[in-house]
Chains A and B, each alone.
Chain A
Amino acid sequence: QIHLLQSGAEVKKPGASVKVSCRASNYSFKSFGISWMRQAPGEGPEWMGWISGNNGDTNSAQKFQERVRLTVDTPTSTAYMELRSLRSDDTAVYYCARDAYDYGVRYFASWGQGTLVTVSS
């Protein structure tokens, strides 16, 4: 069974950065991408960006392009999402999900458990 294990909850002050990890197991990490979503309280998920598990190519939503950095560490099958210049409205649960875009799949069958990021002074 595909498993995506995310790092624990974070509390950050406005202006700081946060880095969330997502360790994948039980599949070939290099054969798929990882997408990152976030979900603010009471809202639907919002796609932030994607990274290739093979070569580190990335693509992100225009809204986040200037503040988000997506990376992968292939030897440990781990993806990272760093969000800079945090604001209070960045408070949300952040999810990673396996992305099978290269296979014509446009949905997410496997998700991480989520990481709550709270931005508060």
Chain B
Amino acid sequence: SYVLTQPPSVPVAPGETATITCGGNNIGSKSVHWYQQKPGQAPVLVVYDDSDRPSGIPERFSGSKSGNTATLTISRVEAGDEADYYCQVWDNNNYYVFGSGTKVTVV
């Protein structure tokens, strides 16, 4: 099965930058998508196709990819950004695959 690896937690101070990584075998050849999930809510798409933002998502959220790692960057972090973040890819053998998630804590 295809596995996406994320750090369990990322602490960040308000106004600083949070960087969340997502690693996977040959992830460079796949499109990576990112979701934000707050407690008790469904996931919300914040970045798709590596670096595009859906309408309504602040420019503070950006995505990139290099080698076997994709990255979600949240600039000028706000208290409301505290949430779990999941990466996701499509794999021909495993279909839709999600990462294990990263909890962003605003400290």
Residues of A within 8 A of B (CB): 35, 37, 43-47, 50, 59, 61, 95, 106-109, 111-114
Verify A108–B45 contact, CB threshold 8 A. Answer: yes
How far is B35's CA from A45's CA once the two chains are assembled, in angstroms? Answer: 10
Apart from A35-B96, A44-B98, what are 11 other A-B pairs with CB-CB below 8 Å? A44-B99, A44-B100, A47-B95, A50-B95, A61-B94, A106-B90, A106-B96, A107-B33, A107-B45, A108-B35, A113-B41
List residues of chain A with CB within 8 A of the CB of B31: 106-107
Q: A44–B86 contact, CB under 8 A?
A: yes
CB distance from A79 to the nearest CB of B (A): 16
**Contact status of A109 and B45, CB under 8 A, knowing A44-B99, A59-B95, A61-B95:** yes
Q: Do most interface residues of chain B lie in helix, strand or loop, or is the interface mixed?
A: strand
Q: How far is the CB of B32 from chain A (nearest CB, A)?
A: 9
Question: What are 30 A-to-B residue pairs whose CB atoms are below 8 Å?
Answer: A37-B96, A37-B98, A43-B100, A44-B86, A44-B100, A44-B101, A45-B86, A45-B88, A45-B98, A47-B95, A47-B96, A47-B97, A61-B94, A61-B95, A95-B42, A106-B31, A106-B89, A106-B90, A106-B96, A107-B31, A107-B33, A107-B45, A107-B48, A108-B96, A109-B48, A109-B54, A111-B43, A111-B44, A112-B42, A113-B42
